[in-house]
Amino acid sequence: MLHSEFWLQIEYWPLSQHIGATWWFPLLNSLHVLSMALMLGGLLMLDLRLLGLTARDYTVRTLGQDFLPWVWSAFIVAVITGLGLFITRASAHVLNPAFQWKVGLMLCAGINMVLVGRLPPRWSGALSLLLWAGVVLAGRWMGHII
């Protein structure tokens, strides 16, 4: 299988080996969790505002200007650290149903962000909360589903 060989080759990269065998793995894991928490905190404020539940004195635009730079910065750190974690066990992750769900839900969350202006705000906020909760849960399940 060419695909499984490809993923195995990634695991044998020197960087993958170094991350998996040293203190880099717990460091990247910790940074991944912290960046996700920062990103989700900002998104939570925006989504709750879209739902009309909080920060009603502020426009969505104002909250977006305040929170989106933090959200995007944290997202970039989460992607980089997530890739670092992924390459250490790429062949196992791609077959893991929880990983597959995590990636699928992240894609749906991205599509929701692109469509935020086209969907009713309440739908978009509720969908965002649901999708990102699913991403977090799937990420936590990855180590427990084989």
One DSSP character per residue, the chain reads -HHHHHHHHHHTSHHHHHHHHSTHHHHHHHHHHHHHHHHHHHHHHHHHHHTTSS-TTS-HHHHHHHHHHHHHHHHHHHHHHHHHHHHTTHHHHTT-HHHHHHHHHHHHHHHHHHTTTTS-HHHHHHHHHHHHHHHHHHHHHTTT--
Q: Could you give the angle at the alpha carbon of 140 between the alpha carbons of 32 and 119, nearest 5°?
A: 80
The one-letter amino acid code at 42 reads G
- Residue 146 falls inside a structural domain: no
Q: Kindly give the confidence (pLDDT) of every residue in the chain, 146 residues in length, as a single tens digit, with 9 standing for 90 and above.
A: 447 889 999 999 999 999 999 999 999 999 999 999 999 999 999 999 989 998 889 888 898 889 989 999 999 999 999 999 999 999 999 999 999 999 999 999 989 888 876 778 788 899 999 999 999 999 999 988 86
Is residue 123 in a domain? Answer: yes
Exposure string over 44-80, b if 16+ CB within 10 A, otherwise e: bbbbebbbeeeeeeeeeeebbeebeeebeebbebbee
Look at residue 104 and tell me if it is in a domain. yes
In a domain, 14, yes or no: yes
Give the other-Cβ count within 10 Å of 124's Cβ.
21
pLDDT at site 117:
65
Q: Which amino acid is at 144?
A: H
Number of domains within the chain: 1
pTM: 0.87
- The whole domain housing 62 covers 2-141
Q: Is residue 73 part of a domain?
A: yes
Residue 106 lies inside a defined structural domain of this protein: yes
